[in-house]
Copies of this chain bind each other. A is one copy, B any other.
């Protein structure tokens, strides 16, 4: 038994089999990938990495699974606890340098700079992860369960195509509106940012999870306020941290720098399994010397770029959306010195797999049960950022923004 000291969950216990996975280079490299890309330029404490996040998710997946099994009679076997732990551990193993910001760089490379590239948007790290599991970790994942084939179990769960009740169970625990992944990142990101937005009572939450009908995760009604708090907490973290306009600006600058690196063939997206090891934050930072100096100055010394202080919302958002092509052309022609960046998050909706509230007898969906949750709406906004060299271009859009604002929200 190995103990790792974690500021969020205390001592995280690793048994021999999990230690073996954690010790592989494919997992160790996560120490070199920041959880929140450039957020540390606004919240200086946010230097934490995917490594500790993944350990935390492992820990919570194991806890969630234990309580969900104990809270009702299921036919599920006990080794689903260990499998859930491993699914939690590996859910992000496919992230490369700067996580989602790299994915965004791929999108820009394709959509703005027209480079022929294989990108799957938010799915990129999932695809990468499944490849790492299959090609890089099969030794470590051998022997883990007498009942299941671990690799195909993880493949089904991480690609969100569960094929059995057990896979559904694990999938719901690590990838859902309220899950082990989000639980960990809300607590962890709050801790390192030094804010209280993302705090919620995970000790209570986990004790009230119930697995129903072989395909539903419900929370006992007694803990419904925690679920509300959780979804609100997440929304506040988006508004104040992840979608903070300065955080967003620097992430967008980094994405454009990455796109430039791809365009100039300074880097190419990881292809073979060994490439993943190379794709760390420091690898990309060390390439900044070879792209526009303005990007380097912005990302290393926080200088040169400005954002327009008014966010683009409501009416203006539509106005800007109608100019997508024009905007792309302007980003391309300025090589990313003018930036238009959209943020979008849906706090909760019931089109996919809803959350359920269970009072011991009756089951209803979360929206049916909670007025507050019904009041939550999608977060959607955009920002304009620019280097002073692209002031002219920016001014054109600032004028558009002023005009659409006068027309009301």
**CB nearest neighbor in B for A54:** B44
Any chain B CB within 8 A of the CB of A146? no
Q: Is the CB of A372 within 8 A of B371?
A: no
Contact A47 B47 (CB under 8 A): yes
A148 within 8 A of B: no
**Contact status A5-B193, CB under 8 Å:** yes
Q: Which listed residue (B28, B51, B55) contacts A303, Cβ 8 A? A: B28
The answer to whether A201 has its CB under 8 Å from any CB of chain B is: yes
Instruction: Confirm or deny: A225 has a beta carbon within 8 angstroms of a beta carbon on chain B.
Output: yes
- What are the interface flags for A1-45 relative to B under an 8 Å C-beta threshold, 1 for contact and 0 otherwise? 001111110110000000000010100110110000000110111
A28, B302: Cβ atoms closer than 8 Å: yes
Check if A168 is an interface residue, CB within 8 A of chain B: no
Per the bound structure, the CA–CA distance linking A303 and B31 in Å amounts to 14
**Any B CB within 8 A of the CB of A291:** no
* Distance of A369 from chain B, by nearest CB (Å): 11
A194 contacts chain B at the CB level, 8 A cutoff? yes
Given A48-B47, A225-B240, A236-B229, A196-B201 contact (CB < 8 Å): yes
A225 B236 Cβ-Cβ under 8 A: yes
**Which of A44, A193, A236, A297 has most B Cβ within 10 Å?**
A44
Quick check: A7 and B45 within 8 Å, CB to CB? yes
Instruction: Find out whether the CB atom of B196 lies under 8 angstroms from the CB atom of A25.
Output: no
Across the interface, do A44 and B40 meet the contact criterion of CB distance under 8 Å?
no
CA distance A44 to B49 in the complex (A): 8
Question: Which of chain B's residues have a CB closer than 8 A to the CB of A277?
Answer: 300-301
Q: Which residues of B contact A228 (CB under 8 A)?
A: 232, 236
A134 within 8 Å of B by Cβ?
no
Could you say which of B45, B193, B194, B286 contacts A282, with CB atoms under 8 Å apart?
B286
Contact, CB under 8 Å: A301 / B25:
yes
- Tell me whether A196 and B192 are in contact (CB under 8 A): no
Q: Which of A323-361 contact B (CB under 8 A)?
A: none
* In the complex with contacts A29-B300, A374-B375, A376-B372, A193-B7 CB distance below 8 A: yes
How many angstroms from the CA of A28 to the CA of B299 in the assembled complex?
Answer: 10
Chain B residues with CB under 8 Å of A204's CB are 11
**A372 contacts which of B44, B55, B375 (Cβ < 8 Å)?**
B375
Seed contacts A195-B201, A371-B375; 14 additional CB < 8 Å A-B pairs: A7-B45, A8-B194, A25-B303, A28-B300, A44-B55, A45-B48, A196-B199, A199-B199, A225-B236, A225-B239, A232-B232, A277-B300, A372-B372, A374-B375
- Give the top 5 A-B pairs by smallest Cβ distance, nearest first: A375-B375, A7-B194, A286-B286, A282-B282, A47-B47
30 examples of A-B residue contacts, CB within 8 angstroms: A3-B207, A4-B44, A5-B43, A5-B45, A5-B193, A7-B192, A7-B193, A10-B203, A23-B303, A25-B297, A25-B300, A28-B302, A29-B301, A31-B40, A40-B49, A44-B49, A44-B51, A45-B48, A47-B47, A196-B200, A196-B201, A197-B201, A229-B232, A280-B300, A282-B286, A285-B286, A371-B377, A372-B375, A372-B376, A375-B375
